[in-house]
Structure 1
Amino acid sequence: MVLIKWLFFLLLSISCICQGQETSKKIPLSEVIITLEKQFNIKFSYAVEDVATITIDKPKPSLTLLETIDYLNSKTLLNFKALDDRYITVSVLNKTVSVCGIVLADANKLPLIGASVFINNIKRSTITNENGKFSLKNISITATLTISYIGFESRNFTAQELFFAQNNCKEIVLTTRNEELNQVLIPVYLTPGLQKYLDGSTVLNTKKFAILPGLIDPDILQSIQALPGVESTNESIANINVRGGTNDQNLVLWDNIKMYHSGHFFGLISAYNPNLTNKVVVSKNGTSAQYSDGVSSTINMYTKDLVTNTFSGGAGINSISTDAFLEIPITKKVEFHISGRRAITDLFSTPTYTKYFNRSFQDTEINADSDQRETTSDFYFYDYTAKVLFDLSEKHQFRANIIGINNALDYSERFFTNANKTESKTSNLSQKNSGYGGNWKAQWTSKLSTDFITYFSKYNIDANDYRVETDQRLTEANEVQETGIKVNANYKTNNHSNLLLGYQFNETGMLNQTTVSNPIYSSTKKEVLLNHALFSEVEYNKNKTYLRVGVRLNYFQKFKKFLVEPRINIRQQVSDHFALKLEGEFKNQSTTQIVDFEDDFLGVEKRRWILVNNKDIPIATSKQASLGVEFNTKKFNLEATTFYKLVDGITASNQGFYNSFQYKNAHGNYIVKGIEFLANKTARQYSIWASYTFSTNNYEFDTFTPVSFPNNADIRHSASFGFYYLLLKNLKIAVGGIWRNGTPYTTPIQDNETTQSGNNTMVNYGSPNSTTLDNFMRLDASLNYNFNLSAAVKASFTAGVINATNQDNVINRYYKVNPTNSKDAIQVDNKSLGLTPNLSFRVNF
């Protein structure tokens, strides 16, 4: 009996609780309307979409019809109006409202300071304060707001949803992405738009980018040269040297597509349009185990990946090219992004184009002077990108990408003979890189997510050079085709750690072809390489400790060879202001570029991609380690990093030697040791920085004499400085300079400058790289002004100048046999850009 009483009491309590919960729970307005129609025998006239998302407390049954209508009008932003005793109309109020919210992190419900709140249809925005709170006034009730924060999933809300809680601001909880462990360490690094992450990588956010000295837009590969340890010995994007490495040792990814070409104008302009590029991540060491290749660095570019349901775009023109981009919503779940850029250099010449042209084609037959011939050349470039964004559901996203890059040079020549006759020739050079990619992201549970990636990349360079004086036609081709598949599985073990497991497969094919008409000669080489890899890593971030440890197992099917590559990245905060940083990695590379001076492409492009054969061209491997200390206080950042890098398996043919080893086959290594310093002070209106790098970089080739000698990219001392200042609300200025030692070069033996080898006469070089060029110095400046053409259209004008003091810098020096006296060698100097102005005008809507 007692048991029955207790059971009865328990059931009664549960019933009361359930009823209490039911009365306090909001219910859909559509259900309320159905109930009221039955209760009062009336009909509501309304559009389903107007009430579909609205929930309210159920009105009390004791209310009269008029009291119920007043109640509905007070609890919603709808207008309920009785036409008679039978019919009631429902319409949306056309008015503006005030909204507010408090943005919190899902793990600990702590406020997110500086979260972005963006009103999509009118492009107004704000950020959250120190309490995570935001408020906006005079917002259309139909407006949609997007709330985002780096490392968290973005969320969309209607103004109507946020209005209902304006007196008690709505709590908005953002869920973390898998990469939230790698948080932003320095939000403004050198200039707005550059950030530094906990793992030491540098992120370029092109949308928030301010300006850097000399630049008129956020040129991706030019901007990263502001970082210590990143140089270009010949001022070319096609030759970026990261801690002494060569350009082909940089892994360049565009939305997970491996790219084999990086520059327009043969390296003076980045080939990647920044307008749809959302961020660029640069890693010099301690790379994630999911990436291979790139024994010197990884440059990972990501385009915009969020479906905003907002039509926007922009266009611009500068002294070299014009471009445009569009973001087009198709449905609420599908969006299309497209961009295009084309040179205007074949339509008319500007002072900037003249400077770039003379810099690119100096010491080539295109710019060679002769009384016996006339030459004309036509050069242009273009690039395009397109992306489809499809959110299948809240947990599944699909993305498809395409990118195309093209450089074209047409060169014609009229040759005057002694018999007053003329002969003409036409030569051309085409350089292309195209890529296609697909990406499926799936969030299976709150802890498990997967990322399936596939891509195809194709690179072509084709040259057709007819030489009148020898009646010889030279045709050369280099083609790369690569297909890749990668599967990443991320498991969030807890709020502080992630586990990554993955598999990658690559099939790379390369073709090199050379044909000569007189005498007849033809050579075609095709190679294919299949690579498999398994990788795993753990990422941890808690109590001032950041740790990422991983390993990658590579298998080269053709060689039946395994390579194991450990990776480590640790950052420990030892006090409020000091932190220690340790990075290390093993990496490999199965593709490389060779430099052929005998069969050049019109004297311009001398590099061709080839695959390793694990014999005379071995797999390149690298071992890197770096140890650094960081000091941060009151937006002042001071860093010092010492590093060591050994790259083994390099070949003499891919180093571009101008010495006695120029035509020899051998493989060896280079070792770089150095230390980098960076000091950076930021404030609301300005940022000022200075950096210095000291390093030694030496080759070792066992079959050469001497065995060891300075690397072509050996720059012992390199320093830079710069500042960015917000003069007025819409006016910015940036000024900066570079000073570094000249690069090494080799001189001929005095009084014995040439030597005979069969029927060929060659320069008789002395000790390799024993002399250095004069110091390199350059001062750059930029000025940017933003203004509004209308409420929805923004414009900007940017002026920049490279080498403002017109410094005469020699960036490369070599020698060739004097055609009029074969016993002498002629010195050839390649010079950097002189004073080069550029202007840009852009509009965005």
Structure 2
Amino acid sequence: MKCNRWLFYFLFIISFSYAQQQTSKTPLTDIIQTIEQQFNVKFSYVVEDVASIHIEKPAATLSLQETMEYLNSKIPLNFKLLDQRYITISVLNKSFSVCGVVLDEESKTTLPGASVRISNNSKWTVCSKNGSFNLEDVAADATISISYIGYETKNFKAKEFFSINKKCKEIYLKSSKEELNPVLISLFLTSGLQKTTDGSTVLNTKKFGILPGLTEPDILQSIQTLPGIESSNESIANINVRGGTNDQNLMLWDNIKMYHSGHFFGLISAYNPNLTQKVVVTKNGTSAEYSDGVSSMIKMSTNNEIKNKISGGAGINLISADAYIEIPLTKNLEIDLSARHSITDMVNTPAYSNYYKKSFQDSEINADNAAKNSDSDFSFYDYTAKILFDLNENHQFRANFIGINNALNYAENQNQNTTKTSSLSQKNTGYGGNWKAQWNSRLSSFVSSYFSRYNIDARDYRVSEDQLLSEANEVIETGTKLNVYYDFNPNLKLLNGYQINETGMLNQTRVSAPFYSSTKKKVLLNHAFFSEIEYNKKNSYVRLGMRINYFQKFDKLLFEPRINFRQKLTKELALKVEGELKNQTTTQIIDFEDDFLGVEKRRWQLVDNNEIPIARSKQFSTGIDFNTNNWNIELTGFYKIVDGITASNQGFYNNFQFKKANGSYTNKGIEFLINKTTTRYSTWISYTFNNNNYNFESFTPSTFPNNLDIRHSVTFGFNYTVYNNLKVSVGGIWRNGIPYTKPVEGNETVQNGNNTFVNYDAPNSLNLDDFFRLDTSISYHFNFTPTVKTTLRAGIINVTNQNNTINRYYKVDPDTSGKAIEINNYSLALTPNVSFRVNF
């Protein structure tokens, strides 16, 4: 009995304390009933508008008018006396301030950097270091959207923030179990760009702000603003990361490995940015679950959440038009569709003309050759589909499809009776599916599988020789991967997994007269086991991993350790260390003479561990990050060795052009970035220093500058929000010209039998003139209706119309008794573009 008595007292005290806390707040519905009885009036209102509101009771001594004034001052509702008998309650149209604190649902820790946006409005902010936010002038009926990378987005009506009266609302976000590290810098260069703890950069295209020259959040153009990433010839199909060639970048689209990256033969990203929501770029310290791509990984992901209403959009610019739609069929089933097509079939715009000239200046289809009476038909398109199905909250299934196509038909009238017809088709299709399972609070798994197929086919009819040349390059790859995650606690996680890939490649050449046919096929099966442990708590982050690769055809094992470490030394200063070993079993061979009309000069090849060895990279980098008062300063030094490259995949224009040899390149460099970002403006400047050299032991000299030895490179930019819906951006690029090789003066060509060749001097001993380009963009956002958003953007690439030489080589001139002539390739001229988008 004594025990029961103490229990009774304890419960009584708790109940009394709780009652005391509630005495100061009364449900508004109760207050309304009291007022109706006290003053003999009737209220007219929507129950949902008042159901969640609690306030202090108005004093009983107040008059009816004073009571209405009191209520109007306390809550975001409009109490209006129609007469002495009837009173209406409505949601205010006027604006007010709201505040909140965003926390992790499981650990209850704050989420600094979470994004807070007002729907149908350009107003937004990010949470401070303590996870709090404050927005001014918010309409009572506005929807506030709160999101954070790796967490499920939540939406609230603004009036919900007043249910607790003057106290900032606590918002708890649930982890979406994405394998992505917490955000370190939430606003990086522009809205939509973020920096994560493991050093990778995330581009969120849905939240993309503005970058110089861009009218769309072009994925592969946007990442070139980052230090250490550039394109030596302005082509998306030739992105160079820390001195590596484009084929050394692992491209993943929803876990499908892609072998093609650009429309218009490299000038436009082949991946629709309006459907692709997140892009993760990693230069070093890659997770052990990934291999291939000895220079970088570019991982693209589309929408992965089932929505509760239809959304979509459409847009057009001077190059293409696109549309996408996300259709929830039921509460646990959704289908997403997108399509994009060039508009060049209907109209030739200034942007198209400049892109065309840039793409085909160094090919049989030479836009400047006025002597040719020719006609060309070029088009491109891409399309995607995705099915999202949630069996329940613990099991999610996804299926994806992507198709990319570039098509070129070219006819040249050489005389009244003869027409030369050529065609080129370039495609990449991919199918993929995955299953994500949460078995308990600690154990989860992710299974993914894909099929990828790349084809390029060319048909070149040579009238003068009455000869038909047909060429084909095909890649077929299938892959399956199993990831198993175990969370020891919120700070310590373990990943184990297995991956199997089979890659087949075909290269075919056929000539009609005299008849010649060559077909080469290769297949390679790879197995990999990987394991890594990740620790992330307060000021320390470390990820240690090991990947073991087994190549069945060669009976070869490769071990690849990985490290990614970050330690805060002070509140503002952090030290970072990254290192990795990686391998690559695919490469692109470059043929400057005959391949694919000279438009596309690269063929995918599979390693044979002999003439084409497995490429292996070793990379180490270390640096510091400094963050304070919206300033972000990064300094990184790196050392990178890539062994197993071949002379044929480097594109030499020197005496090694037709030689076969294996070698390596070593790149030592520094990357520096300083960025000041606020909700109103962002400004940045980055600098990259590279010292990039080849080493081919069988060549003389054996060591010489890399084709991509761009010693100094600077990018800069300034974004400014003029008004909430008007933004401008100005920026540019300056860098040293790439190396080139000049013929020996006075002895420019040499004879070898019946053939004449250019007699080159020391390889890559000269550099082109410095490259400079200034770009600008402007963006204007407005709403047709509360649910339909529109954006108008205009951009100019190369505002000053700088005539930059991006490549130089020499060839034997058949019309001048075998002398060498200089061939220059030039960058884009002044190129304007305009885009208009509607989203709902």
TM-score range, shorter chain: 0.7 to 0.9
Residue correspondence of structure 1 range 511-660 to structure 2 within 5 A: 511-660=506-655
TM (norm. structure 1) is 0.85
C-alpha displacement at 1:365, in angstroms? 2.0
1:198-597 map, 5 Å:
198-367=197-366, 373-416=372-415, 422-597=417-592
Q: Which residue is 2:686 aligned to?
A: 691
The answer to whether structure 1 residue 809 and structure 2 residue 809 are counterparts is: no
Query: What SS does the corresponding residue of 2:337 show, helix, strand or coil?
Result: strand
Whichever residue aligns with residue 358 of structure 1, its letter is K
Matched residue type, 1:577: E
Deviation at 1:820, TM superposition (A): 1.0
Whether the aligned pair in 2 keeps the contact of 1:178 and 1:490 (CA below 8 Å) is no
Q: What is the correspondence of 1:140-155 to structure 2 with a 5 Å cutoff?
A: 148-154=147-153
Contact 1:252/1:298 (CA < 8 Å) preserved in 2? Answer: yes
Preserved CA contact (<8 Å) 1:452 1:486? yes
Q: Which moved more, 1:186-195 or 1:758-767?
A: 758-767
- 1:813 deviates by 0.5
Residue-by-residue CA offset, 1:544-603 (whole Å, 9 max, x unaligned): 111111010000011110000000011111011111111100000000000112322111
CA distance in 2, matches of 1:131, 1:802: 39
Shift, 1:836, TM fit: 0.9
CA distance in 1, matches of 2:826, 2:663: 30
Tell which deviates more after alignment, 744-753 or 545-554: 744-753
**For each residue in 1:417-474, what CA deviation from the matched residue of structure 2 results, as whole angstroms up to 9, or x when unmatched?**
xxxx521121100000011111111111111111111111110000000000111100
Distance in 2 between residues matched to 1:562 and 1:439, nearest whole Å: 28
Q: State the distance in 1 between where 2:785 and 2:155 align.
A: 26
For residue 785 of structure 1, what is the amino acid of its counterpart?
A: Y
Check conservation: 1:754, 1:823, Cα contact below 8 A.
yes
Q: Distance in 1 between matches of 2:677 and 2:169?
A: 34
Aligned equivalents of 1:576 and 1:284: distance in 2? 26
1:287 counterpart letter in structure 2: T
Q: Matched residue of 2:730: which SS?
A: strand
Instruction: Kindly indicate whether the alpha-carbon contact (under 8 Å) linking 2:812 and 2:820 is maintained by their aligned counterparts in 1.
Output: yes
Superimposed CA distance per residue, residues 232-291 of structure 1 (whole angstroms, 9 cap, x where no aligned partner): 111100001100000000001011110000001110111011001111110111111111
Aligned pairs (5 A) from 1:692-771? 692-771=687-766
Q: Which of residues 655, 658, 663 is equivalent to 1:663?
A: 658
Residues 14 and 194 (structure 1), Cα distance of their counterparts in 2 relative to 1, 3 Å cut: same
Paired with 2:537 and 2:430, the residues of 1 have a C-alpha distance of 39
Distance 1:125 1:310 in 2: 22
Q: Label 1:187 to 1:114 Cα distance change in 2 as closer, same or farther (>3 A).
A: closer
1:327 is displaced (CA, Å) by 1.2
- 1: CA distance between counterparts of 2:708 and 2:593? 22
Indicate how the Cα distance of structure 1 residues 630 and 12 shifts in structure 2: closer, same or farther if over 3 A, else same.
closer
* CA apart distance, 1:109: 2.3
- Pairing partner for 2:832 from 820, 830, 837: 837
Three-state SS of the structure 2 residue aligned to 1:789 is strand
Deviates more, 1:130-139 or 1:474-483: 130-139
Distance 1:221 1:301 in 2: 11
Counterpart contact for 1:181–1:540, Cα < 8 Å: no
Q: Which amino acid aligns with 1:262?
A: S
Shift of 1:522: 0.2
**1:495 CA displacement:** 1.7
Shift of 1:110: 3.7
Q: Residues of 1 paired with 2:222 and 2:457: CA distance?
A: 30
User: Is contact 2:424-2:458 (8 Å) kept?
Assistant: yes
**Range moving further from structure 2, 252-261 or 153-162:** 153-162
Which has the larger displacement, 531-540 or 161-170? 161-170
2:160 and 2:597 map into 1 onto residues whose CA distance is 65
SS of 1:644's equivalent?
strand
**Does the residue aligned with 2:199 lie in a helix, a strand or coil?**
coil
Q: Percent identity?
A: 63
Measure how far apart 1:313 and its partner are: 1.1
Cα displacement (A) at 1:756: 2.0
Once the two structures are overlaid, the 10-residue window that deviates more, 291-300 or 329-338, is: 329-338
Take 1:308 and 1:124, find their aligned partners in 2: how far apart are those partners? Answer: 23
Residue 774 of structure 2 is aligned with which of 740, 755, 779?
A: 779
CA distance in 2, matches of 1:719, 1:158: 45
- Residue in structure 1 matched with residue 78 of structure 2 by the alignment: none
Tell whether the 8 Å contact from 1:694 to 1:717 is kept in structure 2 after alignment: yes
Residue 566 and residue 113 in structure 1: after superposition, are their counterparts in 2 closer, same or farther (change >3 A)?
Answer: closer
The answer as to whether partners of 1:439 and 1:452 remain within 8 angstroms in 2 is yes
Query: How far 1:118 moved relative to its partner?
Result: 7.5
In the alignment, structure 1 residue 183 sits paired with structure 2 residue 182: yes
Distance in 1 between residues matched to 2:465 and 2:332, nearest whole Å: 62
Question: Does the 8 A contact of 1:789 with 1:795 survive in 2?
Answer: yes
Given that 1:670 and 1:699 are in contact with CA atoms closer than 8 Å, whether structure 2 keeps it comes out as yes
2: CA distance between counterparts of 1:523 and 1:574? Answer: 61
- 1:47 aligns with none
Tell me, in whole angstroms, the C-alpha distance in 2 between the residues paired with 1:636 and 1:94.
47
**How many aligned positions are there?**
769
SS state at 1:306 partner: coil
- The answer as to whether partners of 1:102 and 1:134 remain within 8 angstroms in 2 is no
Tell me, in whole angstroms, the C-alpha distance in 1 between the residues paired with 2:565 and 2:463.
61
Equivalent pair of 1:104/1:132 in contact (CA under 8 Å): no
Partner of 2:700, secondary structure, is coil
- Give the distance between the partners of 2:630 and 2:118, measured in 1 at CA: 30
| In 2: Cα distance, 1:226 partner to 1:240 partner | 12
In structure 2, distance between residues paired with 1:582 and 1:288: 14
Show the 5 A alignment for 1:27-176: 103-112=102-111, 115=114, 132=132, 148-154=147-153, 172-176=171-175
